[in-house]
Structure 1
Amino acid sequence: MDKKTKILLVEDDTTMGFLLVDFLETKGFEVKLYPDGIQGITAFNQNNFDFCILDVMLPGLDGFGIAQRIRKKNKVVPIIFLTAKALKHDKITGFGIGVDDYIVKPFDEDELLCRINAILNRCKTTTEPMQKMDIGQFKFDADNLLLTIGKEQKRLTQKENEVLKMLACSKNSLVKRDEILLALWGNNDYFNSRSLDVFIAKLRRYLKADTMVQIENVPTVGFVLRDQAVN
């Protein structure tokens, strides 16, 4: 029998929390519910969870704080924010921390299930072994989320790693924006598109140590990872 995916659910609305636990357990997941941020991060630190679903507005420690602490310990575990905070700033903050999706309440349970399954499927494909790649003077080790130049080493977040991997696998060729969004976020809506721009900006900062490497923006279409060391 396949091992059940173990989900950490942090939600202070007990009615919604119990309904979500019941729904997800009927779909084959194992779910542990915690009503505040302190209990949530404590549970994460003491257990092995495969997936995290976090409300943002929580007593004790908010969802942003939980996600930041999770990312310090684990760069790859999927995180979904499930929240009533619908402002663009909040969504960009969430994606900047490195979460995988941001769902605004009220939401449809079946849509949540589809997004969970999409993220799990992407994690399976994006964690398949690949050889280390040269990007100019950089060494890119996607399996270990490492970008190295000389003696300097940068540990990428999972989402940074996935974006760079897609660009590096098509080095000096156009990768369409929609292809990245659908592969890594599951949809190409406005907020996911803006979060992609945040990750591109971060990757540009990491790569600026080699002037022969740049991420070129093709407006409204996509990106090209230019490596002038490659003919």
Structure 2
Amino acid sequence: MKTKILLAEDDPDFGMILKQYLELEDFEVSWFQNPEEVVNILGNDFPFHIGILDVMMPSMDGFSLAKLILKEKSSFPILFLTAKNQKIDRLMGLKIGADDYIAKPCDPEELVLRIKNILKRTQPVPSSQIKMGSYFLDTEKLLLSHPEGNIRLTIREQELLLYLLKHNGTMIKRDDILDNLWETNDYFTGRSLDVFISRLRKYFLNDPAVKIQSLRGIGFEVDFPEN
């Protein structure tokens, strides 16, 4: 079965080129020039595996569209296309819950690589319950549960959390996390990591025994008690 991509891009020339290239790579692409058309199908069957959203669209920007999609499909992977190379745009996308971003004009081969990397992370993980202090992580449902309430994780959040758990009780270098999970290491991916670490800390506020401690200039040290 082909991977189904939702492409929201209002530029007719760029959208057509992107659609044709992705189809040559054996993806099935549904291209929407008007983001309102995407909103209209959210309540129906939503057959897509990943969304590629342009940030700058006239009737509705990509951030607003992503929020609406994630409200209905909380773990839906999203990659943003942005014509601006500004930090504020990238951080905004990450805070919303996007999995990745790429600046236009983008290298089609790089875009395909990023899509495939995201799709690798979206493959089903064996069902398991992992205990961390007073929390449980259900890796199949991407659900972090606690007596005070449940939190639905994004794929990237769970990926990072599982990496931290794998290195529980040890010093974890920032560079190792970026190389293994982001597969690149620059200023923006470093800031992306900080955003996700901040989110995880907030999720574990109900148990002070769970610690994600920053080691300045080095990385992190984590403590996830099993009892």
Fold match by TM threshold 0.5? yes
Q: How many Å apart are 1:14 and its aligned residue?
A: 0.2
Q: How many Å apart are 1:229 and its aligned residue?
A: 5.9
Kept after mapping to 1: 8 A contact 2:148/2:206: no
Q: How many Å apart are 1:228 and its aligned residue?
A: 5.2
Kept after mapping to 2: 8 A contact 1:101/1:185: no
Kept after mapping to 2: 8 A contact 1:100/1:185: no
CA RMSD of aligned residues (A): 1.8
Match of 1:137 in 2: 134
Residues in 2 aligned to 1:74 and 1:180: alpha-carbon distance in whole angstroms = 27
Higher normalized helix content (fraction of residues): 1
Match of 2:184 in 1: 187
Q: How many Å apart are 1:128 and its aligned residue?
A: 1.8
Q: How many Å apart are 1:55 and its aligned residue?
A: 0.3
Residues in 2 aligned to 1:205 and 1:122: alpha-carbon distance in whole angstroms = 23
Select between 193-202 and 164-173 the one with higher mean Cα deviation: 164-173
2:12 aligns with one of 14, 23, 26: 14
Kept after mapping to 1: 8 A contact 2:5/2:49: yes
Match of 1:106 in 2: 105
Q: How many Å apart are 1:192 and its aligned residue?
A: 1.5
Matching of residue 97 in structure 1 with residue 88 in structure 2: no
Match of 1:168 in 2: 165
Kept after mapping to 2: 8 A contact 1:119/1:186: no
Matched ranges for 1:1-231 at <5 A: 3-46=1-44, 47-124=46-123, 127-227=124-224
Q: 1:227 to 1:128 in 2, by over 3 A?
A: closer
Post-superposition Cα deviations, 1:130-176, rounded to whole Å, max 9, x if no partner, equal 52111112112222122222242222222222211211232212333
| 2:111 partner amino acid | L
| 1:147 partner amino acid | L
Residues in 1 aligned to 2:201 and 2:17: alpha-carbon distance in whole angstroms = 43
Q: Secondary structure at the match of 2:199?
A: helix
Q: Which stretches in structure 1 are left out of the alignment for 5+ residues?
A: none
Residues in 1 aligned to 2:4 and 2:63: alpha-carbon distance in whole angstroms = 21
Residues in 2 aligned to 1:45 and 1:18: alpha-carbon distance in whole angstroms = 26
Q: How many Å apart are 1:178 and its aligned residue?
A: 2.8
Q: Which stretches in structure 2 are left out of the alignment for 5+ residues?
A: none
Residues in 1 aligned to 2:153 and 2:4: alpha-carbon distance in whole angstroms = 24
| 2:24 partner amino acid | T
TM-score, with normalisation over the residues of structure 2? 0.91
Residues in 2 aligned to 1:120 and 1:176: alpha-carbon distance in whole angstroms = 25
Kept after mapping to 2: 8 A contact 1:208/1:214: no
TM-score, with normalisation over the residues of structure 1? 0.90
Residues in 1 aligned to 2:203 and 2:87: alpha-carbon distance in whole angstroms = 25
Q: 1:17 to 1:71 in 2, by over 3 A?
A: same
Residues in 2 aligned to 1:130 and 1:216: alpha-carbon distance in whole angstroms = 28
